Copies of this chain bind each other. A is one copy, B any other.
C-alpha cells in the first residue's frame, strides 16, 4: 500500500481513484457528497473539492450542482498530445535540425480554405513550402498559408533563418484552432522530398489557427515514412 498522505488533496484523489477502480463505487453510481467525504477524511471540504475537481477534469467522474458527483459510465479516454515546434522535436531526439524553404509567394486564398478561413480576406495570403530535416534526412514536408492581415511582418521575411512554424509561434499567438490527423499516400513529388516510395502511407496533420475572429495560418504537415505520434495516457 502506497503512503496515502490523506488530508492532502492528491492523497485523497488516490483513495477515491482506488475506490472507483475497485468498484466500491460502481460506474454511474452517486458518490457521497463533499461534506461527507471531508468528514470521513478529516479535512476541509475545499480539499475534497480539489480532488474531485481533478477527477472530473480527467473525465472519471461527472459533477453537477445539486445533482451530486457520480462515477462516469464510460470514462472517455483522454489523451493530451504535445505538438512541439519541429525544430525542438528533432533536437530533443539528439538530432541536428535544418529546414529549407522550397517555395514562397503571394497568392489568392485557395478556394479550399475559403470555408475554413470563414472571412473574406482583403488581400493575398503568403504561401510557403518548407522541408524540415533531421540529421540531413527529410523529416516533414510543410505547406502553409499565412494571413498577412494577422501577421503583416511576415511579408518581409524569407523564413530561411527561422522557420515559419517557429516564427509564428513567437509572433502571432493564436487563441484557438482546429487540428486533425490523417493518412495520405505519397505522390510523385512527395516521394522525392521525403525519401519515400510512391504510394507509401504517410502520417499527416492539418492545423488552422485563429486569434479571435482573425484566421492566422493554415498548415499541412506530412511526415517522412515511419513517423509515429506518441503520447501517454
Q: Which residues of A contact B (CB under 8 A)?
A: 20-21, 27, 74-85, 88, 166, 169-170, 173, 175-185, 199-204, 207, 209, 211, 227-233
Given A180-B229, A182-B229, A228-B181: A82 and B74 interface contact (C-beta under 8 Å): no
Instruction: Please determine whether B77 and A82 come into contact, CB atoms closer than 8 angstroms.
Output: yes
Chain B contacts for A229, CB-based, 8 A? 180-182
Q: Known contacts A74-B170, A173-B75, A201-B202; is A184 also within 8 Å of B182 by CB?
A: no
Closest Cβ of chain B: how far from A46's Cβ, in Å?
Answer: 10
Closest residue of chain B to A27 (Cβ to Cβ) is B170
Q: Could you tell me the distance in whole angstroms from the C-beta of A15 to the nearest C-beta in chain B?
A: 14
Residues of B within 8 A of A170 (CB): 27, 74
A191 nearest CB across to chain B (Å): 13
Q: Are A173 and B21 in contact (CB under 8 A)?
A: yes
* 16 A–B contacts from the bound complex (CB under 8 Å): A75-B173, A76-B82, A77-B82, A78-B82, A78-B83, A79-B179, A176-B232, A176-B233, A177-B232, A179-B232, A180-B228, A181-B203, A181-B228, A182-B229, A183-B204, A199-B199
What separation, in Å, do the CA atoms of A219 and B21 have in the docked complex?
21
- Considering the complex of A and B, which 3 residue pairs feature the smallest CB-CB distances, nearest first? A183-B183, A201-B201, A183-B201
Say whether A182 contacts B228, CB under 8 Å.
Answer: yes
Q: How far is the CA of A201 from the CA of B40 in the complex (A)?
A: 55
CA distance A200 to B181 in the complex (A): 16
**CB of A111 to closest CB in B, whole Å:** 20
**Nearest chain B residue, comparing its CB with the CB of A171:** B23
Partner of A230, one of B180, B199, B203: B180
Complex formed: what's the CA distance from A76 to B86 in Å?
11
